[in-house]
Amino acid sequence: MSKVYNSAVVIIPPKEKWDSIQEIRKIYDRNIDRWMPHITLLYPFRPKKDYVSLEQVFVEKCKNFEPFEISLLNIEYFAHDHQNYTLWLDPEPINLIINLQAEILKIVPDCNDVNKYEKGFKPHLSVGQIKGKKKMHETINTLRETWREIKFILDKIYFISRENIKTSKFEISKQFQFKN
């Protein structure tokens, strides 16, 4: 089985919760036109043509999960080479998101790229990129002063995909409901 970079499994906050996230992303996120606000669970993922063969096993797996509330309270950052930084919202409760990701990873164990980081899988919702340590600290401090917690019920996950063209946007292809 193959993996592609135009397909992913993600958590997407409800659209009515997007406004304050998108306000930050409009200023800082070069990927705002490609990705909707999301927390990546699996990426890269299977090509869209394989979704039909995966659908039933994801339906069954998701029926095992109780919905739970996610809180986006804190703004954090990842440091990369050459004073490049990624700004992100820190979802809680992290242990439930990590457990969810581990369970769906069992379906497609080779789609484990997000687990290969030095500290393993770190759930996050990216809101931008910053160059320069001083600028990053100034930006983080400003954002933390004005940020207001967002809460939502996680009761489904999504397959998203885009055309294999640089300018194409990710769109929801399938959604998988948790236990009712």
- Rounded to whole angstroms, the Cα distance separating 125 from 17 reads 13
**SS3 sequence of 64-88:** CCCCEEEEEEEEEEEECHHHEEEEE
Cis geometry, peptide bond prior to residue 93 (ω within 30 degrees of 0): yes
pLDDT digits (tens, 9 = 90+) for 112-146: 999 998 889 999 999 999 999 999 999 999 999 99
- Which of the residues in the chain have pLDDT under 70? none
- Rounded to whole angstroms, the Cα distance separating 180 from 176 reads 12
Domains of the chain: 7-177 (3.90.1140.10)
Check residue 118 and give its pLDDT: 84
Check residue 167 and give its pLDDT: 87
